[in-house]
A = this chain, B = another copy of it.
Amino acid sequence: MPHSPSRRRTPLREFQLIEALHRRYGKTGPNVIRGIGDDAAVVTPVKNHEMVVTTDLLVEGVHFDLKTASFEDIGYKAAVANLSDIAAMGAKPNYLLVSLAIPRSQSASEMQRLYRGLMLACRPYGVELVGGDTSASRHGLFLNIVLIGSVPVGCALTRGGAQAGDLLYLTGTIGDSLAGLRVLSARHGHKQSLPPVKPSTQELTRRHLRPTPRVEMGQALSRQRLATAAIDVSDGLSGDVRHICTQSRVGVEIEVDALPISAALRKFAGMNKQDPIDVALQGGEDYELLFTVAPRSCKKVEQLGRKVDCLVSCIGIIKPVSYGLRIKDQSGVLHPLPMLSYQHFSAAHNLHREKSWSR
């Protein structure tokens, strides 16, 4: 696969793609006994650690759109979605496998850019590409990621450990990714004159295209045994908190006023007559960590946030299961927590349902 900037579309051949990947990413550390190019990868497990495995299948037109994201963006974000899952388990990411089903319209250099994005996201964490698969696709690009990590024995953060009385925390800010998607979609809609990207919306589109997985924070929360349960916000807060509640058999009360909303999202929402709380509750793909903390550990969590330079906000409290899932609005009135998250196989295949809850 030539690395030249030629615009000629190089035809894709499977074995050549594998060879090119081998040449480019085949230099692996001493724990990789056998990487790209055999029937399977062989790696040494980390001593005294459990193995953490996640896999995500990303579909053109469902999870990404070639009109609003570059191949590098798609690779980057696919890696982040999986890094974020590993982070939510409190684990360190180690090994990556990538499967691609590639339509004939895609060129070798486009696939190279996709891998570049993947590795750009993974490299800061020392993740090594050890294998994968490539196939033809008749309709659209499909991308499956496998990420394998490791966590000290007994330290994995699950969705099942929250207890009534624990406080509910969130890293960073939420809703930015959905707002960024709306900015990108609107820009794509302007066919004749592309409106300039405003500095205030640049932050939102960056959050959508190049999100940051909370790998250090997740590892610190598990190593220091600070979190009782954790999940990453990939489907949207209102859906993801539900997973913690179901698996921990607890209820929750979330405070609208405590939701961490960025200045950029407030500005965007104001200009577009949208409620930033709506965007925050329904927006997926923020890849922030949502986790529960026993009251005695709250101070340590806030210290940790300052130490690793990660905003942490207490957004609610875990309640007994009989309490249900509620949200307190700005006037102190409690409402049932609405289900706004994206769910595949819903009536429409659109990326986010645009239903409002608070108005």
Q: Which A residues fall within an 8 A CB radius of B?
A: 11-15, 33-34, 37-45, 49-63, 84-86, 88-89, 91, 95, 97, 99-102, 104, 130-140, 142, 144, 146-149, 151, 153, 156, 158-160, 230-232, 247, 343-346, 349
Contacts and interface: CB of A to CB of B under 8 A. Distances in A.
A39 B39 CA distance: 27
A232 B38 CA distance: 10
A99 B54 contact: no
B52 A133 contact: no
A34, A51, A56, A151 interface centre (most CB from chain B within 10 Å): A51
Given A14-B343, A14-B345, A40-B85, A51 B57 contact: no
Contact of A97 (B15, B39, B55): B55
A174 B140 CA distance: 34
A221 to B, nearest CB: 13
Nearest to A134: B344
Contact of A41 (B15, B52, B63, B144): B52
B345 A102 contact: yes
Given A40-B91, A41-B53, 18 more contacts: A14-B344, A38-B89, A39-B86, A40-B85, A40-B88, A40-B89, A43-B51, A53-B97, A53-B146, A54-B131, A55-B133, A55-B146, A57-B99, A57-B133, A58-B135, A59-B136, A59-B142, A62-B135
